[in-house]
Structure 1
Amino acid sequence: MTSPPQRPDLAAMLAPLLRETAAAELPVLEEHGLTMWGYSVLVALDRSSMRTQAALAEAIRADKTRIIPTLDELQAQGYIERRPDPDDRRVRLLAITESGRAVKDAAQTAIQRGEDRWLSKLSPTDRDAFLRALQQLTDAQP
């Protein structure tokens, strides 16, 4: 006979927090004129510019055809550039612009300031350990 689990499942612990943090991000993103997908695109492009649309979709785990309207909107706002790949003119290379980086940085700063509501419940040592562990789990994703 097996003993009962000693802790809740990860999804059971993370899901309520993820719902709350995502809900808290929406007004911040709206204030900066961004959607959640738009913000995700800018964050990904800021980490690694000049991605193809297909590589970007894979990086943010979105369907490549569904992000096209988001890319159109970000380009119209002047937040990204799309250029033909000189090696394959059917492919578009993406890059974040300086204004895209500025709006991403402003939104990210405001979002992280809001996250302090949850993180402040941890001691500084626990907070650092939590963020480090979360980063390791994120980096370990295929």
Structure 2
Amino acid sequence: MDADRRDLAAMLHPLVESLIAMELPILAEHGISMWAYSVLSVLDDSPIRTQAALATAIGADKTRIISTLDALQAAGHITREPDPQDRRVRLLAITAQGQKVRRSARARIQAAEDQLLSGLTTADRRAFMRVARLLSNLSH
């Protein structure tokens, strides 16, 4: 252990703040919030179907995401249908338009991330991304 190193949160916080600041204008150009992008990402990448499962997947209280879901549905990015097995449950699905918006935003965000990481060697960039994936999976 390196007793002289800074805590991980102290080291990563400036990077996370920079990433958020970089993403917000891109998301605004696409007419979505950070929460909306999280919702679209989960629905585009996985078979999550209920509002409760979605809330768990993005780390939000299920009542907190209702306004986000309302906005996404009004914009035509998702559908919410009653579950035929339990009409109290809403089944979620991303629409083709929602996929287009999410994928366009993701491409722009990843291009900006690539620019941010361009100062790293290819090997360091690959190692950073590998470790970021591992740490992300550990925190869930």
Instruction: Name the % identity.
Output: 57
> How many Å separate the matches in 1 of 2:120 and 2:20?
20
Q: Is the 8 A contact 1:49 1:96 kept in 2?
A: no
Provide Cα deviations, 1:66-124, integer angstroms capped at 9, x if missing partner.
10010000001110011111211100011111110100000011111111232111100
The one-letter code sitting in structure 2 at the alignment partner of 1:75 is: Q
Q: Size of the alignment, in residue pairs?
A: 140
Q: Note the residue ranges of structure 1 that are not aligned, 5 or more in a row.
A: none
Q: Note the residue ranges of structure 2 that are not aligned, 5 or more in a row.
A: none
Find the counterpart in structure 1 of residue 68 from structure 2: 70
The one-letter code sitting in structure 2 at the alignment partner of 1:51 is: R
Q: Is the 8 A contact 1:57 1:67 kept in 2?
A: yes
When the two chains are superposed, the root-mean-square deviation of aligned CA atoms in Å is: 1.4
TM-score by length of 1: 0.93
TM-superposed deviation, 1:5 = 1.3
> How many Å separate the matches in 1 of 2:118 and 2:5?
23
TM-superposed deviation, 1:63 = 1.2
Q: Is the 8 A contact 2:48 2:54 kept in 1?
A: no
For 1:78-93, list aligned pairs within 5 A. 78-93=76-91
Q: Is the 8 A contact 1:43 1:104 kept in 2?
A: yes
Q: Give the SS at the match of 1:128.
A: helix
Find the counterpart in structure 2 of residue 127 from structure 1: 125
Aligned structure 1 segments of 4 or more residues deviating by more than 4 angstroms: none
Find the counterpart in structure 1 of residue 115 from structure 2: 117
For 1:6-45, list aligned pairs within 5 A. 6-45=4-43
TM-score by length of 2: 0.94
57, 60, 64: which one aligns with 1:59 = 57
